[in-house]
Structure 1
Amino acid sequence: MASGGDIKATFKLFATKNNGAEATSKDITRWCTDAGVFGKTCNSNNLDIAFSKVKPKGKNTITVKELDALIAELAKKYKDDKKCDEAEAVTKIKEKMSNTQPKGHGTTKTSKTGNVGKMTDASQYTGSHKERFDADGKGKGIAGREELADNSGYVGNYKGEGSFDQK
């Protein structure tokens, strides 16, 4: 069985509010998902209900103090998945949760199809899109997106700019 200090240290890893002192329902859901606590009957809906029961009135977060009560509420459904009594379910949940490290959720993955390479290679662009990039493939910024007008006061096709006052 894991000691109480381990689960408190792990709580700080998953808690996102108040410098790791408070955790939201989303933080606890992520923690239970990473720990493998959820099953058929013990799921995130049950966790949300248990979270609502143990959180202080008017707050959206819990502290380490409320964690034991949350685990006890969660154990009521967890025992049905694991076919054990409630005390054993609490022990199993605490052990799983204390031995869990946060995993990277929402990390960017590279494409397996290979079509992305063509989209990011500016040398293969044609038409007006080709004008948006220089020879190195770097974007030209606004100069590449808009046809900038010459506001010098001369007509567009007049070739003798600056020669009016010269005689």
Structure 2
Amino acid sequence: MSGSGETDAKPAETGIENGIANVSLNENLNNTTQTPTKSESPLEGSSTPSPTGKLPTFKDNFKAFSKFGDTKSDGKTITLSQSDKWMKQAKVIDGKKITTTDTGIYFKKFKQQKLHFEDYEKYLSELANSKKAEVTDLKKKMTECGLPGVTSAGSAAKNLSTVERLTDPSKYTGASKLRFDESGKGKGIAGRKDLPDKSGYVHGYKDKDSYDKTH
């Protein structure tokens, strides 16, 4: 009898263990298939610039360049010179397809020294049509060119590297090496020829310490 009771208990225990295992498995499945919340999503906000990192629009750059060189400007109108500055930075004016002569002709058709944003868009359209160019391409370049006077980090680094290379005394030999001090600053004429010491002990005595060299 005792042997039979022990045999009957084992299947019961096995069934309980299987039930616990199934519950644990279901919980794990629920956890893995649960849809992530908005705050947990790794892609949330990845393609949307933050307020501080907002990309400038064409109108933003219009305002920036309309204030360039004019502290009294309210950013609502732009002059021909400011517009040309903008177009040169955006490489719209390239001296070949579009020149400052072209921009001057079409700007002056509006018979105003300064153009408001709406008129400026019309001016760009007329300029683009006359040159068989797409106005959207012009606007794209003028949007992506950056603020007035700002160049790319790569260009700035390249220029700095060139200056450092040209003023590094260790890269020169002979007389050229003597033209820079240890910091890389040019010595001017002192780096190209020997200059005598013009200080003296009394009035009229020059070329200090040179007497012993000549006698």
TM-score (norm 2): 0.41
Q: State the Cα RMSD in Å.
A: 3.7
1:91 alignment partner in structure 2 = 136
Select the residue among 110, 117, 130 that pairs with 1:64.
117
Matched, 1:25 2:80: yes
- The CA deviation at 1:9 is 0.7
- The CA deviation at 1:48 is 0.9
1:53 alignment partner in structure 2 = 109
Q: In 2, Cα distance between the equivalents of 1:37 and 1:74? A: 11
Q: Give CA deviations for 1:60-107 in whole Å, capped at 9, x if unaligned.
A: 22221211111012102332xx5xxxxxx11111221122212359xx
Matched, 1:118 2:187: yes
- The CA deviation at 1:37 is 1.2
2:149 alignment partner in structure 1 = 103
Select the residue among 105, 125, 130 that pairs with 1:77.
130
Q: In 2, Cα distance between the equivalents of 1:35 and 1:26? A: 14
Q: Which has the higher contact order (CA 8 A, sep 6+)?
A: 1
Unaligned runs of 5+ in 2: 1-55, 152-159, 168-178, 200-215
Letter in 2 for 1:6: T
TM-score (norm 1): 0.51
Q: Give CA deviations for 1:100-129 in whole Å, capped at 9, x if unaligned.
A: 212359xxx9795768722498xx98789x
What is the DSSP-based 3-state SS (H/G/I as helix, E as strand, rest coil) of the residue aligned with 1:117?
coil
Unaligned runs of 5+ in 1: 83-88, 131-167
Structure 1 residues 71 and 118, CA, compared in 2 at 3 Å: closer, same or farther? same
Larger CA Rg, structure 1 vs 2 = 2
More helix by share: 2
Question: Does the CA-based 8 Å contact 1:55-1:62 persist in structure 2?
Answer: no
Structure 1 residues 125 and 65, CA, compared in 2 at 3 Å: closer, same or farther? farther
Q: How many residues align?
A: 112
Structure 1 residues 15 and 55, CA, compared in 2 at 3 Å: closer, same or farther? farther
Matched, 1:12 2:74: no
Seq. identity, %: 25
What is the DSSP-based 3-state SS (H/G/I as helix, E as strand, rest coil) of the residue aligned with 1:54?
coil
2:93 alignment partner in structure 1 = 38
Letter in 2 for 1:53: K
